[in-house]
Amino acid sequence: MEAASMRIPADLQSAALVDETVAFELNAAAAYFQRQGQLDVSRALREQGDTLLAEAGRLRGEAGKRPRAGGGAGPTVLVVEDESQLLDVVSDGLSEAGFNVIPAETYGIAGLLLDSAEPIDLLLTDIRLPDRFTGWDLAERARSRFPGLPVIYVTGYSVGMPRPVDNSLLLMKPCRPSALITAMQQLGVTSTA
């Protein structure tokens, strides 16, 4: 229970990013309906967008009041895994080892987190993700924001046509958190715990 509660700030940040994204889309739709002369619809959409933006601000404020995963002292690891139980096991193991863990189940959520103000020290990603994008795609996107970011790819399948970035490793599933921590150390990312 304690490890799960440590991830709450990242979850709140994720929810805030989703709220902001939806608010942006609602405002775009409101502009369209305003051009069509449907002012009541436009006004309602803008009110919904404003409500979501206010909620996003509240969520960010609440996230700022809570300690980050791993006590806030260790490197931040974005863990992307679509199997929720495996995501929990890996996140809990890394949190207990002193890392700040930001979990994500999809490429879309991970992309929103990469676009946030939170710096990332390492990306740990499954290669096969539930969206049309892969872990290879996510690593390339992450590198556009954080050049030189260490990346650990994990997969339970044979890898065809790998597209690894420099300063990365590929591990086969299942792998224990201790094996992940060893791989992280090989890439120069160590916990202070």
Please write down the HEC assignment for all residues of 52-78: HHHHHHHHHHHHHHCCCHHHHCCCEEE
pLDDT of residue 6: 39
Backbone angles phi and psi of 132, in degrees to 5: -80, -10
* Residue 183 vs residue 21, higher pLDDT: 183
pLDDT of residue 98: 86
Distances (CA, A) of 131 to 20, 106, 134, 172, 184: 21, 7, 7, 21, 26
Residue 36's CB is within 10 A of a number of other CB atoms, namely 10
pLDDT of residue 188: 87
The b/e string for 48-72 (b: 16+ C-beta within 10 A; e otherwise) is bbeebbeebeebbeebeeeebbbee
Q: What integer best gives the mean pLDDT of the chain?
A: 79
DSSP annotation of 184 reads H
Start-to-end CA distance of the chain, whole Å, equals: 20
Q: Between the ranges 3-7, 25-29, 142-146, 172-176, where is the mean pLDDT highest?
A: 142-146
Q: Is the pTM of this model over 0.75?
A: no
pLDDT grade, residue 57 (50/70/90)?
A: confident
DSSP annotation of 173 reads S
